Amino acid sequence: MRKVPENNSLKKEIRKLLELCKKDEKDNGEKRNYFNAPITEEEMINWEERNRAKIPETYKEWLRFSGKCRIAGNTATFWGPNEFHSEYVPEGLVVIGEINGDGEVVCFSKNEGIFVRVFEGKTTEINDFACVLKEIIKLMDDKPILSQERYLEILQKIKEKKEREKNK
């Protein structure tokens, strides 16, 4: 796993996340977690200049740790500036990742620099990226992480049950 820079404001959250990812891999197999190399300051500045927007400081802190990652399978994925996009979200938002594996995305506002979660057209403001990481930690810490196969099996059973109830 990646080393956390000492001067990173997200150090506590990142270390806890790495600990949980290690446990997740032990319980569910490898390749469910990865943390790519950090993004350079130059890459962040270039994106900001091209897009006339500022990347919020707490996300820059994350990018100084990892430019792209996957956490506990579908629990969370975050990207670097080359993969940011603004599709399927309200105008002025920049998508930086996905959480919960259900289509929910994490964005930041180009104008205000605030973080926003978007799910099924509803937006929820978030204080900073540390709050996002804390939520992921809570998801991973509060319940056992299911394997992808078991998760899909449960979803299929739920779908079948709803179908049976609908046909009654």
At 148 the pLDDT is 64
At 112 the pLDDT is 87
Mean pLDDT is lowest, of 61-65, 146-150, 158-162, for 146-150
At 68-96, the pLDDT tens digits run 999 998 899 999 999 999 999 999 999 99
At 147 the pLDDT is 62
At 107-130, the pLDDT tens digits run 999 988 899 999 998 999 998 899
The Cα–Cα gap between 168 and 157 comes to 17
Mean pLDDT of the chain: 88
pLDDT for residue 1 is more than 80: no
- Closest by CA to 145, choosing from 34, 21, 14, is 21
Residue 12's pLDDT band (cuts 50, 70, 90): very high
